[in-house]
Amino acid sequence: MSEPVRVVYDGECPFCRAYIRMVRLREATGGVELVDARSDHPVLERIAAAGLNLDTGMVVELDGQLLHGDQAMTALAGMTTRSGAFNRLVRGLFRRPGLAKVVYPPMVAGRNLTLRLLGRKPING
C-alpha cells in the first residue's frame, strides 16, 4: 500500500478550506491526509527545513516529495475526479504546469489580501 498523499493547507483561509471541502481526489491515491498549516503536525518541520513558505502556496507531500504552490496544485489536479463542475474547473486550470504557473500567483495574492482584511496573521509571520 502506498503512503497517503498529504495536503498541507491554511485552515484559517476561507478559500483554502472551501477548496479542500470541494475537491474530490481519486481513491487510487492510497488515501489523503489533510493537514492544517497552523497545526503542530510533524510534516511542517520538513516543509520549513525545505525553505517552503506556506504563505505563498500550499504543499502536497507525494511519495516523499514536497510539492509547493502551482506544482502542488498540478499534482492535485492529476488526482482530481472529473465529477462535478468544480473538479472539472480545477483539472482544466491546474493539470497543465504552464497554465498553473500563471493562474496560481493571483490566487495566492487574493488569499493574502483576504486574510489581511479578515485580520488573520500569516502562517510564517
Q: How far apart are CA 38 and CA 74, in angstroms?
A: 23
Structural Rg of the chain based on CA atoms: 14
In terms of Cα–Cα distance, which of 103, 75, 68, 76 is closest to 19? 76
pLDDT in tens, the chain (125 residues): 467 789 999 999 998 888 887 777 765 456 788 899 999 999 999 999 999 999 999 999 998 899 999 999 999 888 887 788 888 888 888 999 999 999 999 999 999 999 999 999 999 86
Give the pLDDT score at 90.
83
Q: Which amino acid is at 100?
A: A
For 28-59, the DSSP string reads GGS-EEEEETTS--THHHHHHHTT--TTS--E
pLDDT given for residue 32 in this prediction: 84
Which three three-digit cell numbers place residue 92?
Answer: 482544466
The whole-model pTM stands at 0.87
